Structure 1
Amino acid sequence: MSTAFVLGQKNLTYDPAGLVALYESYPAVRDSYAQAADWSGHQVQDLLHKRADDKGLSLVTSVGLTAAMLGIADVLAEQGVLPGTVGGLSLGALTAAAVAGALPRREVVRLLCDTDASDVPESPEHPEGCVAAVLPLGQSVEGFYGTRPGVWFSGDFGMHVSGAFRMVLLSGHREALDRLAAEHPPEYFVFSEEPIAVHSPLRHRARDITARLTAGIEFGDPAVPLCSSLEERTLFTGAEVRSMVARNVVEPVHTDRLAREMRRQGARLGLVLGPTLPRDAFEFPFPVVHIEAPEDVAAAVAAVTEHGGGTVTGQTATTAQSADSPQTEGRTRA
């Protein structure tokens, strides 16, 4: 049995209370936030409480959630739980590369900071945005984009556990998204506060900047199978991870593709790190435990034991805590 670490996307609206409690409960989480603060130049409390002006909120949220996901991975390692496979969506894909040992943590934070200036609309005259769209059974997503100028398909979060609808992400020019929403019932659309057209061709400049920056970063081969959310594929080399990081900026992400590839790699249980995916909302091909607060850690360890993954009693382990040597040799994986 293998346990998958699932790292979700940036969430601008999450309640930080659970992460604050984790920070207060676990030194490993405090260490992770301290490192992220040092590398980013932000204060720990700003990262922890998601404090920033409107222009800086996106970066503070990205760095703060990255610190949280890495800190939770370290807490699990201290409990003897290490991933058999790992993968993520959007921000989570970049952070997953660090958890898998392919990218130093320092470089993840620096990359977020160095690309922050590119997180602006391609043209100031054309505001951008993104929206989560609910697709009831029988509704085709192709009617929402493709034939509509200025709207792109940017992600698929999969089928809701109720089986009643699917959730997709659309991005593009805000005017085009508003026109689309006006043609459907209001409950079909939930607009994000994100001011850019994420995972769309409009992000081509940001992709080029990311590619240029990552060319100067040393990527290692993942120490555990690193599953992509861009296609059903596992990445085994540093070169493949470098390419994924740049492509991740402009290409759609897929929860179902990520989950199926994890299942193919042997995953029988998923642990979602941080408040990055809606709790108990979307279908996975294996049971999933969300870790967003201290009480979730015990639930995760119990789930690993219940599903046969086991824990290493008395083992003290850490996952890629070093800024420059993200290796996990000699540790037992769940």
Structure 2
Amino acid sequence: MTIPYALIFGPADVSHMMKDMQRLYDTHSQVRARFGQVARSAGMDVNTILRKTPLLDDASCMQVVSLGLLAGMLGIADDIIEQRGAPSCVGGISLGEVAALCVAGGLTLDEATALIRLRVDMPEAEDETVGFVMVMEEGGRAFYNQPPEMRIAVDYGQIHQGIGSLLMVAGLRRALEGRGQEGSGVLEVLPPALCNSAYHTPYRQRIAEQIDAYLQGCALPAPRYPLVTCLPEIGVVNDPQGIKQMCVRGETEMLSVPAMIRQMQSFGVADVICIGPFLRSLNMDFGGVSTSFRDEQWVDDILSSLSAVE
């Protein structure tokens, strides 16, 4: 009997140097194929999105990392679906939602790379950025939501067996580096070399409008698998209109990982496979079901096993 499972794709980690994907590119045919497809679609050399060569002048660190992780995550998902059959649902966080849409057939690869290229990492006026903070008590959350200059951008929910909640906070750099340091947690702000944009806040309205205009010209199909989203007001997506809302509203609205997990639970999955960096380190509870990870540690484990056999 097939065990019902969900695929959950992680966000872009701008500090990710793609070492795991470089190793998979050499050994994993489906990952290698996806890197070739994404590189051609984006008009870049494979070595650029593998981070073997320096960033291009017209591409930010976030865009290159996003393209590389998209390629790697799709290749890994291809392998899982080939082995296990169709997932009960798919979902993701930020970039992970783009990957989930690709796997579900809601976006073509060309459309996915176009959205990443539209997501420029440049502020229009004052410097923007994001930071991460763990809040030990729920009452401390409100401090980090002080619009317009500082907002909760992604709520990851409780991590490390409930010791606290992880928040991604976004807004103006001067606010996060100034007032943001007065909260109950330690807000770690990303430096300009890694981030220059207040993701998932109204500061991204211009990007949302460009994505909306782009998608108007796309013939979006119904996805082949249900999409669980981090947007509570949208919920599970099964149609083209929902796909468009995911892509547009996700630019300016807060993402809620607990909301996505609640949607996933409605499908009765017994197994969750998380693809991409960052998620393992959080020790998140995906509804009390079996959870495995396809990330840097997984790459180390499988390649070490192969070496031992040889």
For this structure pair, what is the TM-score category when the shorter chain's length is used for normalisation? 0.7 to 0.9
Instruction: Identify if the C-alpha distance between structure 1 residues 8 and 294 changes in structure 2 by more than 3 Å, giving closer, same or farther.
Output: closer
* 1:270 counterpart SS class: strand
Q: Is the 8 A contact 2:12 2:69 kept in 1?
A: yes
Q: Is the 8 A contact 2:20 2:299 kept in 1?
A: no
Rounded to whole Å, the distance in 2 between the matches of 1:145 and 1:164 is 21
Please state how far the C-alpha of 1:243 moved relative to its aligned partner: 1.6
Rounded to whole Å, the distance in 2 between the matches of 1:219 and 1:298 is 38
Rounded to whole Å, the distance in 2 between the matches of 1:152 and 1:75 is 38
Please state how far the C-alpha of 1:14 moved relative to its aligned partner: 2.0
Rounded to whole Å, the distance in 2 between the matches of 1:138 and 1:241 is 32
* 2:153 counterpart SS class: strand
Equivalent position of 2:77 in the other structure: 73
Q: Is the 8 A contact 1:221 1:238 kept in 2?
A: yes
Rounded to whole Å, the distance in 2 between the matches of 1:244 and 1:45 is 30
Indicate which of 27, 34, 44 corresponds to 1:25: 27
Indicate which of 63, 82, 100 corresponds to 1:59: 63
* Paired AA for residue 62 in structure 1: S
Instruction: Identify if the C-alpha distance between structure 1 residues 276 and 94 changes in structure 2 by more than 3 Å, giving closer, same or farther.
Output: farther
Equivalent position of 1:122 in the other structure: 124
Q: Is the 8 A contact 1:86 1:226 kept in 2?
A: yes
Matches within 5 A, 1:276-291: 276-285=278-287, 286-291=289-294
* 1:131 counterpart SS class: strand
RMSD of aligned Cα (Å): 2.2
Superimposed CA distance per residue, residues 292-316 of structure 1 (whole angstroms, 9 cap, x where no aligned partner): 25956998xxxxxxxxxxxxxxxxx
Please state how far the C-alpha of 1:53 moved relative to its aligned partner: 5.6
Instruction: Identify if the C-alpha distance between structure 1 residues 82 and 298 changes in structure 2 by more than 3 Å, giving closer, same or farther.
Output: farther
Q: Is the 8 A contact 1:21 1:294 kept in 2?
A: no
* 2:165 counterpart SS class: strand
- What is the TM-score normalised by the length of structure 2? 0.87
Alignment of 1:244 with 2:246, yes or no, is yes
* Paired AA for residue 166 in structure 1: S
Indicate which of 268, 271, 274 corresponds to 1:272: 274
Rounded to whole Å, the distance in 1 between the matches of 2:266 and 2:26 is 37
* 2:252 counterpart SS class: coil
Q: Percent of aligned positions with the same letter in both sequences?
A: 25
Instruction: Identify if the C-alpha distance between structure 1 residues 297 and 214 changes in structure 2 by more than 3 Å, giving closer, same or farther.
Output: farther
* 1:77 counterpart SS class: helix
Moved more, 245-254 or 275-284: 275-284
Superimposed CA distance per residue, residues 36-59 of structure 1 (whole angstroms, 9 cap, x where no aligned partner): 010111111221136416853121
Higher RCO, 1 vs 2 (CA within 8 Å, ≥6 residues apart): 1
Please state how far the C-alpha of 1:281 moved relative to its aligned partner: 2.5
Determine which structure has the larger helix proportion and give its number.
Answer: 2
Rounded to whole Å, the distance in 1 between the matches of 2:105 and 2:12 is 21
Indicate which of 37, 40, 60 corresponds to 2:39: 37
Please state how far the C-alpha of 1:93 moved relative to its aligned partner: 0.8
Superimposed CA distance per residue, residues 109-128 of structure 1 (whole angstroms, 9 cap, x where no aligned partner): 12222x14x431121xx111
Q: Is the 8 A contact 1:220 1:238 kept in 2?
A: yes
Give structure 2 stretches of 5+ with no counterpart: 303-310
Q: How many residues end up aligned between the 2 structures?
A: 293
- What is the TM-score normalised by the length of structure 1? 0.81
Rounded to whole Å, the distance in 2 between the matches of 1:195 and 1:111 is 18
Give structure 1 stretches of 5+ with no counterpart: 300-334
Q: Is the 8 A contact 2:6 2:90 kept in 1?
A: yes
Instruction: Identify if the C-alpha distance between structure 1 residues 107 and 181 changes in structure 2 by more than 3 Å, giving closer, same or farther.
Output: same
Moved more, 72-81 or 250-259: 72-81
Equivalent position of 1:321 in the other structure: none
